[in-house]
């Protein structure tokens, strides 16, 4: 479905992507994680040419995205992209936001597009907000509308660029729930995220990146229990802690279950 | 002042029509109205051209803006008075000459306002629009320009008001509008210059104030629509 072959990207003298070689098969959910500045967001943005590349080939559905004959707008319509900052269009209602691409790009009739918009907003749990403006919505609601907007393109693949990083912790759950449902429905997804719980529960594979390179490309099971690369080991020890009693991995910043139980008993 | 208005009111309002071309305040409004309706679309195209990745397009638009912003309007009007007949080969009525000069002059300023509006939008808007498959033209039409122009409404109204007042200069080539009418009244009256010109100021103020109020109403409606209160 998606293939990176020796992809290189430079910002002037700074090497942002260094020989990226990886594939995402149809129906797979791949999570990309890594420290800040590792090139995760840059990599995902090269797929639909929001960022140019200086070397290598990126193929979506077998077609080279930088091919001269490639219609960039038709290609982008086949790729759903969800941004960290939501990027809803504030001058359009929720309904109009979701309908814009199917009508203007897909050539769908407005009444069909409206029915599609209703169906997708129902799916993300926001059917009652169809007439609202983005300014009336919370962050989590805006991001769910953004997901519905991407789904309206009926794309075979969805790209998520840190979809929950700009949300406060209470809203992260509602967006992750929508993403988990999409994964269960068989959508091909490439997700850049710091949400390790989501990665462990839903991902088919995890790519760990650092300094523009993919250092690990394994199953979540392998990654969380026995990461091979020392940089990955250091990343996981910073991000997760093992709870003393239950042995469960707890994200840093949360209280370990044993400590929490002790605190409640005291 | 009231008797001047009573006596020459019609001259102020419509000049010597129907015994001559339409003049006075009506002509001012027509000139300003046409000037704005013609220069604004040109300005949007110029503003977009200033941001084009195609070098010749960008340079041509920049040259236009720099040229027309760098010269006083009265110079452009004089210059147009001599150049336009040379270009077209026929005699051109002063009104048309004045209109061309005003359109060229205002389009330069409005183009920069449009460019500022476009550049002031968060980059994520263009990215989200392009990422969903919208072409450059569709992105501009449906996402960028509606927001950019709404954001720049105060600046645009500023320039529109300035245009209405700029039409007062065209009397130098003999266009019969309200300043010309005031001068005619003054040359008849001779001793009531202050009152005559106060009446003239009153006409301009009425037009500019009406436009400002209209714009304020529009701004309020647009803001309420964005908040879902409309």
d(CA A228, CA A231): 9
The answer to whether residue B16 neighbours chain A at the CB level (below 8 Å) is no
CB atoms inside a 10 Å sphere around CB B6: 9
CB–CB contact A89 B143 (8 Å): yes
**Banded model confidence at residue A249, pLDDT cuts 50, 70, 90:** low
The answer to whether residue B129 neighbours chain A at the CB level (below 8 Å) is yes
CA angle (A56 as vertex; A52, A60 as ends), nearest 5: 75
Contact criterion met (CB below 8 Å) for B151 and B117: yes
pLDDT at A246 over 60: no
CATH topology of domain B2-229: MetI-like fold (1.10.3720)
pTM of the full structure: 0.87
Residues A158-165 have a mean pLDDT of: 95
**Which range, of A84-98, A122-136, A244-258, B135-149, averages the lowest pLDDT?**
A244-258
Residues B190-207 have a mean pLDDT of: 89
Residue A96 DSSP label: H
pLDDT at A156 over 70: yes
pLDDT for the residue B207 = 92
Kindly report the nearest CA distance between residue B130 and chain A, in angstroms.
Answer: 7
The answer to whether residue A65 neighbours chain B at the CB level (below 8 Å) is no
The structure tokens 């300003």 sit at B32
CB–CB contact B127 A100 (8 Å): no
pLDDT for the residue B8 = 82
Q: What is the tens place of the pLDDT at every residue in A97-106?
A: 999 999 999 9
Which value does ipTM take for this structure?
0.87
| Longest distance between any two alpha carbons in chain A, whole Å | 69
A50, A93, A153 member nearest B127 (Cβ): A50
pLDDT for the residue A251 = 62
CA A174, A176, A180, A182 torsion-angle sign: positive
Q: For residue B25, give the 3-state DSSP assignment.
A: helix
pLDDT for the residue A258 = 53
d(CA A58, CA A60): 7
Helices (H), A105-227: 110-123, 139-151, 169-184, 196-202, 220-225
pLDDT at A241 over 80: no
Strands (E), chain B: none
Q: What is the tens place of the pLDDT at every residue in A164-173?
A: 999 988 899 9
Work out the percent of chain B whose per-residue pLDDT is above 90: 62
CB burial readout B51-67, b (16+ within 10 A) else e: eeeeeeeeeebeebbee
Domain ranges of chain B: 2-229
pLDDT at B177 over 80: yes
Q: What is the tens place of the pLDDT at every residue in B26-61?
A: 889 999 999 999 999 999 999 999 999 999 999 999
């Amino acid at each position: 479905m998606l293939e990176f072959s020796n992809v290189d990207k430079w910002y002037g003298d700074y090497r942002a992507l260094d020989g990226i070689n990886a594939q995402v098969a149809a129906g797979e959910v791949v999570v990309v994680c890594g420290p800040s500045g590792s090139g995760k967001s840059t990599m995902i943005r090269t797929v639909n040419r929001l960022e140019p590349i200086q070397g290598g080939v990126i193929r979506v559905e077998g077609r080279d995205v930088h091919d001269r004959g490639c219609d960039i707008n038709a290609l982008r319509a086949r790729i759903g992209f969800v941004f960290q900052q939501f990027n809803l269009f504030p001058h359009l209602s929720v309904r109009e936001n979701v309908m814009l691409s199917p009508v203007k790009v897909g050539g769908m009739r407005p009444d069909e597009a409206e029915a599609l918009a209703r169906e997708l907003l129902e799916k993300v749990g926001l059917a009652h907000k169809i007439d609202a403006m983005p300014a009336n919505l919370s962050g989590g609601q805006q991001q769910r509308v953004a997901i519905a907007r991407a789904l309206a393109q009926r794309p075979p693949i969805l790209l998520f660029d840190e979809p929950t990083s700009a949300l406060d912790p209470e809203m992260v759950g509602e967006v992750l729930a929508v993403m988990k449902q999409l994964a269960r429905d068989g959508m091909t997804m490439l997700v850049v995220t710091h949400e390790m719980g989501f990665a462990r529960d839903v991902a088919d594979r995890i790519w760990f990146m650092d300094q523009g390179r993919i250092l690990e490309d394994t199953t979540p099971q392998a990654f969380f229990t026995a990461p091979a690369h020392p940089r990955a080991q250091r990343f996981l020890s910073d991000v997760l802690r093992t709870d003393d009693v239950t042995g469960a991995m707890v994200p840093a910043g949360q209280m370990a279950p044993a400590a929490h139980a002790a605190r409640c008993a005291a | 002042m009231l008797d001047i208005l009573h006596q020459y009111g019609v001259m102020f309002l419509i000049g010597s029509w129907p015994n001559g071309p339409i003049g006075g305040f009506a002509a001012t409004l027509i000139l300003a109205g046409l000037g704005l309706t013609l220069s604004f679309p040109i300005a949007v195209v110029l503003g977009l051209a200033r941001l084009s990745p195609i070098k010749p397009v960008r340079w041509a638009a920049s040259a236009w803006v720099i040229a027309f912003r760098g010269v006083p309007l009265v110079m452009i009007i004089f210059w147009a008075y001599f150049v336009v007949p040379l270009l077209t080969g026929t005699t051109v009525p002063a009104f048309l000459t004045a209109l061309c000069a005003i359109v060229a002059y205002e389009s330069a300023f409005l183009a920069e306002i449009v460019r500022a509006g476009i550049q002031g939008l968060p980059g994520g808007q263009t990215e989200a629009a392009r990422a969903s498959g919208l072409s450059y033209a569709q992105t501009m039409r449906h996402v960028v320009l509606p927001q950019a122009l709404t954001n720049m409404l105060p600046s645009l109204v500023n320039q529109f008001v300035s245009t209405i007042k700029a039409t007062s200069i065209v009397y130098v080539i003999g266009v019969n509008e309200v300043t010309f009418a005031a001068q005619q009244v003054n040359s008849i009256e001779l001793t009531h210059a202050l009152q005559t010109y106060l009446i003239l100021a009153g006409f301009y103020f009425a037009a500019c104030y009406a436009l400002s109020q209209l714009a304020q109403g529009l701004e309020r409606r647009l803001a309420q629509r964005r908040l879902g209160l409309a």
